[in-house]
Amino acid sequence: MPQPALLAISHGTASAAGQAAVKALVDAVAERLPDVTVRLGHVDVQQPDVAASLDALPADQPVVIVPLLLSAGYHVRVDLKQQSADHEGVTIAAALGPDPRLVDALSARLEPLGLQPEDALVLAVAGSSDDRANDDCRTIAAMLADKLERRVDVGFLAAADPRLGAAVAAAQDEASRRVVVANYLLAPGYFHDLAVRLAAGAPVARPLLDDDAPAASLVDLVIDRYRDAIAETPLRRA
Structural domains present in the chain: 5-96+212-237 (3.40.50.1400), 100-198 (3.40.50)
Hey, what amino acid is at 220? D
Q: Taking 80 as the threshold, does the pLDDT of residue 73 lie above it? A: no
Instruction: Identify whether the C-beta of residue 21 lies closer than 8 Å to the C-beta of residue 209.
Output: yes
Q: Are 191 and 126 in contact (CB under 8 A)?
A: yes
- Count of residues making up the chain: 238
DSSP labels, 12-66: --S-HHHHHHHHHHHHHHHHH-TTS-EEEEESSSSSSBHHHHHHTS-TT--EEEE
Q: What is the mean pLDDT of residues 185-202?
A: 97
The string of pLDDT tens digits covering residues 138-151 is 999 999 999 999 99
Average pLDDT, rounded, for the chain: 93
End-to-end Cα separation, the chain, in angstroms? 17
Query: Does pTM top 0.85 for this prediction?
Result: yes
178: burial class by Cβ within 10 Å (0-12, 13-18, 19+)? middle
